[in-house]
Structure 1
Amino acid sequence: MSESSFIQRSVVVTGGSRGIGKAVVERFLAEGHKVAALGPSGKAPEGALGIACDVSDADQIDAAFAQVEQAHGPAEILVANAGITKDTLILRMSDADFDNVLQVNLGGAFRCARRAVKSMLRARWGRIIFTGSVVGLYGSAGQVNYAATKSALIGVARSLTREVGGRGITANVVAPGFIETDMTADLPAEVIAKYQASIPAGRLGGADEVAAAIAFLAGQQAGYISGAVIPVDGGLGMGH
């Protein structure tokens, strides 16, 4: 992109202190955008505005977005990335295990999108990207709660597209597969090998590869893509 065509945007990334979220924050910073990272710790990569925020709490989200607006202007790009897991087989999964994951992964994405859309509608421009998962469509034993949230984000993005697509706002889902993060680093070598054997690319993905897909969807040239699910999974799920 030429320097003259670059437009600096106000970007909000939830779960932006580690893993995929951190890579996304760093990618937008490198492109020259103003970036705020929301998360429980309030930590953020250098150059970003770190804001402590529990995305399961609407009041905290409202306060966080108010901070963003004061520092960077209204949010123009939202990457709803915050997520937790409470993995266990369904017969052992408690109501709390199920509800907590829904509150953060799905409820948090909904609450952030609702808050962000207000200013996007006024500006008649906006990009909303949800971090889904290959598990949302592919399924995974022991992840009924997590898979339900990631699948549901597709319905959220597509419904949003029909609601606000005429106002220059897009809503999409990036669905990562097995990505090298702190979480996967703790897995035994034999488990990693088993995953790799099932992935056509024969390797785990990099968080920067997910960030690249998100950055593309957030850009000017992706204005005609909305309601889409973009797999970044080495061919594991192929968007299935």
Structure 2
Amino acid sequence: MRSEMLPEQNEDLMQALKNKNGTQGFSLLELVVCLAITLGIMAMASTLVASAFRVRSRENQKSDALADVQRGLNIMSREIANGGFNLNTNGIVSAESGATTIRVRSNLNKFNTAVSANARNGIGLGLAGEDQGEDVKYFRNLAVGTQYLARWDEYTANRFKGTVLANRIDSLQIHYFGQAVTYNANQSDTDISSPSSAEVLPAAAKYVVIALSVTLDRVGQPGSPGYQPGGHVLLVSDVTLRNAGLSTY
């Protein structure tokens, strides 16, 4: 006599077989929840990565800009300090020097026996290239969308007399004093303020303060991940005109 299984027993047996074979999966609701959590984590990770890349881009831009300007400022300071060598002035050409431009002259070849006698005895009298660096001018060159710190060498042997020392500068300010001074220089400013002494005419200067502001472009758009607003950084150099007030020697 064959026995028959009750419906409840048949259902229990089928469930047991499913569990044994491991064929039971996630419900649709569970899959949707897991997918939502995964997408949320991916979105957060993408935001953090984008922010990190923008910060890195801004720091790289800042480092490059500051390195260029610092190098140009060092060259500028050194040549201005040498102004007036073997001259009876401080070397600054007053007619072409002011708040954003300075031209300096010096007879650097005075004791250089490797050049011609004309080069030793004056500026611009030697052979081509011999008087290089003896008459230079620094100024801010305005261009579309940016500004450059430029150097002009009147007696260079090169075909092009102008050289770009730094780009992306925001401003160039040159101050002339009759003595060493103190002042305020905040990084958020574009120039020095409150000098301890009044400025003098370039021809009477013995101390020059150069203030260069570096432009930092914004990175990204406002409200976007890692957005870095634009700004500027102020670099200042104090230069003592070591030959000012000395007689010709």
Give the structure-1-normalised TM-score: 0.23
Structure with bigger strand share is: 2
Considering only CA atoms, is the larger Rg found in Structure 1 or Structure 2? 2
Give the structure-2-normalised TM-score: 0.23
Structure with bigger helix share is: 1
